[in-house]
Amino acid sequence: MSAGSLVRRRTAPTASECRTRAAVHRDLRAVARIERAVFPDPWSHDMFVAHLRYAPPEMFLIAEASEGEVLGYALMRTVLDEAELLNIAVTPEARRRGIGLQLLRAAMETCRAHGAEWMLLEVREANVAARTLYERHGFVPIGRRAGYYHSPREDAIVMRAPLVDPADRTDRGPDQRESPPR
């Protein structure tokens, strides 16, 4: 089976049977299939192409089974000290097997390595499973975007999580940073 393929299997692999890697062009067909299966208002194929073309390669991650099956993906961007998780999805057959968590952790670490100190995301208000996952990993609600989602129309909850230790953040002035232990 080639990278980028999406096939049905009896039992989806767990996160320990997957690897996370940067996306390549041949993954886009499988990514678009997952997107359409998961979201009622999916991103277009061209949106994924543009992200792959213009973002650093590691800002588009793939969760891949050992035989090359694409099980999920995450897209991020960073601006200065802030990151945004733009999109994350796992194929329905592979949910609740740790793959979404694997992608989230990889996305957070990638953005931290790119100098981000915070990560933001939007999530459907009714998506309790995703909100619970995010909250368990340090995200807290900080706002609401009324009518943000379409099909059906729904508010987005804006969430934020720190990617670095508070003592190491650059948003604190020099007089607010803790002194190193002596």
Q: How far apart are alpha carbons 121 and 7 in whole angstroms?
A: 29
Structure tokens at 135: 């909250």
| Listed residue (53, 52, 54, 72) closest to 62, CA to CA | 72
Cα–Cα distance, 122 to 160 (Å, whole number): 9
Query: Residue 28: how many CB atoms within 10 A of its CB?
Result: 21
Catalytic residue among 35, 69, 117, 134: 134
Query: Known catalytic residue: 67?
Result: no
Of 58, 64, 117, 122, the catalytic one is: 122
What share of the chain has pLDDT > 70, as a percent?
Answer: 82
| pTM tops 0.85, yes or no | no
User: How confident is the model at residue 179, as a pLDDT?
Assistant: 42
134 an active-site residue?
yes
CB 159 within 8 A of CB 138: no
Question: What are the tens digits of pLDDT across the range 14-33?
Answer: 666 789 999 999 999 999 99
pLDDT band per the 50, 70, 90 thresholds, residue 180: very low
All domains in the chain, ordered by first residue: 15-165 (3.40.630.30)
**pLDDT tens for each residue of 22-74:** 999 999 999 999 999 998 889 999 999 999 888 888 899 999 987 889 999 99
